[in-house]
Amino acid sequence: MIPLAKPVFGLAEWENLSTCLTTGWISSQGKFVKEFEDNFAKWVGCRYGVATTSGTTALHLALVATGLKEGDEVIVPVLTFIASANVVKYCGAKPVFVDAHPGYWNIDPNKIKEKITQRTKAIMPVHLYGHPCDMGPIMQLAGMYGLWVIEDCAEAHGAKYNNQMVGSIGDIGCFSFYANKIITTGEGGICTTNNRDLYEHMVLLRDHGMSKTKKYWFDEVGFNYRITNLQAAVGLGQMSKLESILKERERIKMDYDSYLGTAKPSYGWAKDVCWLYTTLVNNRDKVIEALAKEDIDSRPMFYPLTQMPPYFSKEGFPMAESISRRGITLPTYIGLEKCDIKRICKIVKEIGEI
Ligand SMILES: *Cc1c(COP(=O)(O)O)cnc(C)c1O
């Protein structure tokens, strides 16, 4: 059986976890949390990191910290994982959807301006499947209209736009450490930022909104989005092999590209990373079936959010629809053998007619 994803652990995770258990420091009060936050933020190129219980809570925390509230609007790509839009709803605000770029599948920067209104407060570019968004024009629009930029980096640890790490370009970057992400803490996430005020507000909101100086005093409604020392212990271990994980994943992408004889077009400003290798085929559902018969797991691409009940809309998003219909996600994990990639590609090419 070839699964879609599989985490990779080593001695570093074991040793850190064992430290948690032997010292009894297992909650968010343990010392690995700050170390993990500092370590990850520095790697991204940010001054501050706020680790959370998930990528979703990281995004929610970021939006609340910017002051997003009922009646506000946030620009979100229509082709993304649903959490990107749900967190906007959690704030009582409205996600306003933008179509995908045909080449790299992320939010099309040329279609953002027409969606900006008096109520727009933020843009949320999502670096989908490890590919960076075209951040230049997005930052320019945000500057012109005074909008926050919250980057959803859940699938793109280490991707770069013009040599700058995603997560350090907008006001806040949000990463996920779910088990199938590039590095994992089981469940977990982090917000990265260079803005001290946003950082302090996120730290406060993550811990029920409790005052820094007065115990059990609360000035606003906060959350418990604190990560545990156990998760941070695993995260630190993962950090120590992050560069080698990215290199291995790059090799997997190159093998897929060469066996399939297709690759996404490349852009001078983009350095992508390989999250779950995703490509476009014909007869997508038949390809998934044929792979399943060989005990190989695969997934359809995300559906455009406006096709599903929570965000139903008659508005057309032709690019997202066309990409999503043909998109398939293939097994991607450290330890996936070259011969297995070759076997997978043979089926994909034959049934997918590429
Ligand atoms: C995984 C993911 C999230 C949510 O992260 P969780 O840690 O699962 O909450 C958000 N956005 C995107 C694009 C994702 O892929």
Q: Cα(49)–Cα(46) distance, rounded to whole angstroms?
A: 7
Read off the DSSP letter of residue 305: G
Q: Cα(74)–Cα(77) distance, rounded to whole angstroms?
A: 10
Are 345 and 200 in a shared domain?
A: no
For position 99, which CATH number holds? 3.40.640.10
Tell me which of 81, 190, 227, 302 to substitute to probe ligand 1's pocket, judged by most ligand atoms within 8 Å of the beta carbon. Answer: 81
Instruction: Give the residue-averaged pLDDT of 171-190.
Output: 98
Are 259 and 227 in a shared domain?
A: no
Residues touching ligand 1 (Cβ under 6 Å) are 54-56, 80-81, 83-84, 126, 152, 154-155, 176, 178, 189
For the CA of 181, the closest atom of ligand 1 is 1
In this structure, which residue's CA is closest to atom 2 in ligand 1?
A: 154
In this structure, which residue's CA is closest to atom 1 in ligand 1?
A: 154
- Residue 66 DSSP SS3: coil
- Residue 171 DSSP SS3: coil
Rounded distance from Cα 43 to ligand 1 centre (Å):
20
pTM of the model: 0.98
For the CA of 275, the closest atom of ligand 1 is 15
Rounded distance from Cα 175 to ligand 1 centre (Å):
8
Rounded distance from Cα 132 to ligand 1 centre (Å):
15
Residue ranges making up the domain that contains 89 = 11-239
Are 69 and 193 in a shared domain?
A: yes
Could you say which of 211, 239, 267 is where a domain stops? 239
The per-residue pLDDT for 38 is 98
Could you say which of 239, 263, 290 is where a domain stops? 239
Residue 312, classified by CB atoms within 10 Å of its CB into exposed (0-12), middle (13-18) or buried (19+), is exposed
Is residue 336 in a domain?
A: yes
Rounded distance from Cα 59 to ligand 1 centre (Å):
9
In this structure, which residue's CA is closest to atom 13 in ligand 1?
A: 81
Cα 156 to chain centroid, rounded = 6
- For the stretch 284-317, pLDDT in tens is 999 999 999 999 999 999 999 999 999 999 999 9
Are 211 and 248 in a shared domain?
A: no
Dihedrals phi, psi of 45, to nearest 5 degrees: 95, 30
Are 232 and 282 in a shared domain?
A: no
For the CA of 54, the closest atom of ligand 1 is 7
Dihedrals phi, psi of 287, to nearest 5 degrees: -65, -45
Is residue 56 in a domain?
A: yes
Read off the DSSP letter of residue 303: P
Confidence of residue 58 (pLDDT cuts 50, 70, 90): very high
**CB of 66 closer than 8 Å to CB of 121:** yes
Are 210 and 276 in a shared domain?
A: no
Are 265 and 226 in a shared domain?
A: no
Rounded distance from Cα 221 to ligand 1 centre (Å):
24
Are 246 and 224 in a shared domain?
A: no
Is residue 258 in a domain?
A: yes
Strand 120-123, strand 73-77: pairing: parallel
Confidence of residue 65 (pLDDT cuts 50, 70, 90): very high
Rounded distance from Cα 215 to ligand 1 centre (Å):
33
Is residue 5 in a domain?
A: no
- For the stretch 324-337, pLDDT in tens is 999 999 999 999 99
Is residue 6 in a domain?
A: no
Are 51 and 170 in a shared domain?
A: yes
Cα 206 to chain centroid, rounded = 19
Are 129 and 274 in a shared domain?
A: no
Tell me which of 152, 182, 191 to substitute to probe ligand 1's pocket, judged by most ligand atoms within 8 Å of the beta carbon. Answer: 152
Q: Cα(278)–Cα(274) distance, rounded to whole angstroms?
A: 9
The per-residue pLDDT for 168 is 98
For position 255, which CATH number holds? 3.90.1150.10
Dihedrals phi, psi of 218, to nearest 5 degrees: -125, 125
- Residue 100 DSSP SS3: strand
Rounded distance from Cα 176 to ligand 1 centre (Å):
6
Are 34 and 181 in a shared domain?
A: yes
Please give the tally of structural domains in the chain.
Answer: 2
Rounded distance from Cα 85 to ligand 1 centre (Å):
11
Q: Cα(52)–Cα(66) distance, rounded to whole angstroms?
A: 17
Rounded distance from Cα 178 to ligand 1 centre (Å):
7
For the CA of 187, the closest atom of ligand 1 is 7
Rounded distance from Cα 346 to ligand 1 centre (Å):
30
**CB of 173 closer than 8 Å to CB of 151:** yes
Confidence of residue 259 (pLDDT cuts 50, 70, 90): very high
Tokens of 10: 């080593």
Is residue 38 in a domain?
A: yes
The per-residue pLDDT for 83 is 98
Tokens of 320: 């997202």
Strand 164-165, strand 94-98: pairing: unpaired
Are 110 and 213 in a shared domain?
A: yes
In this structure, which residue's CA is closest to atom 5 in ligand 1?
A: 55
Looking from the CA of 163 toward its CB, the CA atoms found within 13 Å total 0
Instruction: Give the residue-averaged pLDDT of 51-70.
Output: 98
Could you say which of 185, 219, 239 is where a domain stops? 239
For residue 200, the one-letter residue type is E
Is residue 2 in a domain?
A: no
Read off the DSSP letter of residue 333: -
Is residue 134 in a domain?
A: yes
